Amino acid sequence: MPSIPLPKDLRINAARFLADFEALAAIGSTQDGGVNRPALSEAHLQSRVWFRERAERAGLVVSVDGAGSHFARLACGQNPERSLLLGSHLDSVPMGGRFDGALGVAAALEVLETVREAGLHLPVDLEAVDFTDEEGTLVGLLGSAALANHLQPAEIQNPRGGRQRLLDGLQRAGLSEAGLFQAGRDPASLAGYLELHIEQGPRLERKGIPVGVVTAIVGIVSYRLVFEGRANHAGTTPMDERCDAGLGAAGFMLAARQLVVQSFPECVVNVGALKLEPGAFNIVPGRAELALEFRSADQQTLDQLQQALLALAEREARAAGLSVTVVFLGRHEPAPMHPAMRQAIGRAAADLGLVTLDLPSGAGHDGQSLANLCPTGMIFIPSQAGISHSPHEFSAWHDCVNGVNLLLQAALNFNP
Ligand SMILES: [Zn+2]
């Protein structure tokens, strides 16, 4: 008679996981090996049909909340009122890669099926989750924010992907605007949230380390800056008599980069859009509008960086004889990962003989929404050349399998 493995020796079924991963990669697949599954598009909804069928085949109970997030529950808990959530998202950026999000959802289903087959009884139930619109083609972190009761009506009125696109998506999915605000979940029902994801950066690969234990998810602040000078004839206005708004914007962009490189080495800054007006070859720009975003994993540092960047905008404007208007657009606070979850991951990695690196996540994730509700943790595996949000996104298969085994063992290790 085969002996029953100790929970510590339990491993996932890698062949079954590969089949699931490939089935998902085929839904909305593009010719260059990526996937195109923007939130609530036909392809995305098709991937959710797959989720439901796959979960039901594994003997899990599927439910869908008012934001369309899909849950598959394994009733393995001594306390069936609470569950540990494992998951990620099946939506992709437009023309994205096959690993971002899908890896974590397929992994969660595989972990639940492995636990069910082994007949383990755990302190709480396990739930695999596929959150709606993590990527922000509609709103961003939509499903997790709705679950956490963080969703602001203004975000739905004026979503980053456009209002009509959101309404069309909701209709396609059989969802409603009112339903989004009824997806809030009782925090008492959540024992924790744990997500496996690709790193989307080059740090693990460069160091040759197979696993990242996320310390915090970065906070993100965005502003619109408007430099104003005086539009004038580009041929007849002497160089030293111009109030060139474009020059102020350019000066700010260069100085902001230098500030972050020199004084905020753990942070990043980006000017992702720049509009000069009137916008002609032969007119000195009278107005320059730029989209500023900066990130830090530490709240105090984020405050200091914000102060420094806004002071810099004033300084650059004055130096170029311009005025500057600062419009605050939004702030997501940094979300530290829970020590108990980090420990559970660390212990499991040691058991599996996997070296780990502690690192912050420079990208946003659903864990940001969950971190205030319940102990939240994230596991990263290496991304080849750090490429992500691209069809060329790739992670080695053995790293993926290591990651799923680590997700399994961390879930078993976590003491809710
Ligand atoms: Zn993702």
Question: What are the structural domain ranges in the chain?
Answer: 7-216+337-413, 219-332
Q: How far is the CA of 345 from the centre of ligand 1 (A)?
A: 19
Q: Are strands 122-131 and 77-89 parallel, antiparallel or unpaired?
A: parallel
Q: How far is the CA of 199 from the centre of ligand 1 (A)?
A: 9
Architecture of domain 219-332: 2-Layer Sandwich (3.30)
Q: How far is the CA of 237 from the centre of ligand 1 (A)?
A: 50
Q: How far is the CA of 88 from the centre of ligand 1 (A)?
A: 7
| Vertex 237 angle, CA 231 and 238, to 5° | 135
Distance, in Å, from the CA atom of 88 to the CA atom of 12, rounded to the nearest integer, reads: 18
Regions of the chain where pLDDT drops below 70: 1-5
Q: How far is the CA of 90 from the centre of ligand 1 (A)?
A: 9
Of 3.40.640.10, 3.30.70.1070, 3.40.630.10, 3.40.50.300, the CATH number of 7-216+337-413 is 3.40.630.10
Residue owning tokens 């069928």 = 53
pLDDT given for residue 1 in this prediction: 47
* Inter-residue contact 72 to 178 (CB < 8 Å): no
Q: How far is the CA of 197 from the centre of ligand 1 (A)?
A: 7
**Length of the chain as a residue count:** 416
Distance, in Å, from the CA atom of 294 to the CA atom of 259, rounded to the nearest integer, reads: 12
Q: How far is the CA of 256 from the centre of ligand 1 (A)?
A: 28
Burial track 111-137 (b if 16+ CB lie within 10 A, e otherwise): bbbbbbebeeebebbbbbbbbbbbbbb
Q: How far is the CA of 134 from the centre of ligand 1 (A)?
A: 7
pLDDT given for residue 152 in this prediction: 87
Which class for 310: exposed (0-12), middle (13-18), buried (19 or more C-beta within 10 A)? middle
What are the tens digits of pLDDT across the range 351-372?
999 999 999 999 999 999 999 9
Q: How far is the CA of 235 from the centre of ligand 1 (A)?
A: 50
Distance, in Å, from the CA atom of 78 to the CA atom of 74, rounded to the nearest integer, reads: 12
Q: How far is the CA of 69 from the centre of ligand 1 (A)?
A: 15
Distance, in Å, from the CA atom of 228 to the CA atom of 230, rounded to the nearest integer, reads: 7
Q: How far is the CA of 79 from the centre of ligand 1 (A)?
A: 30
Q: Is the dihedral of CA 231, 234, 238, 240 positive or negative?
A: positive
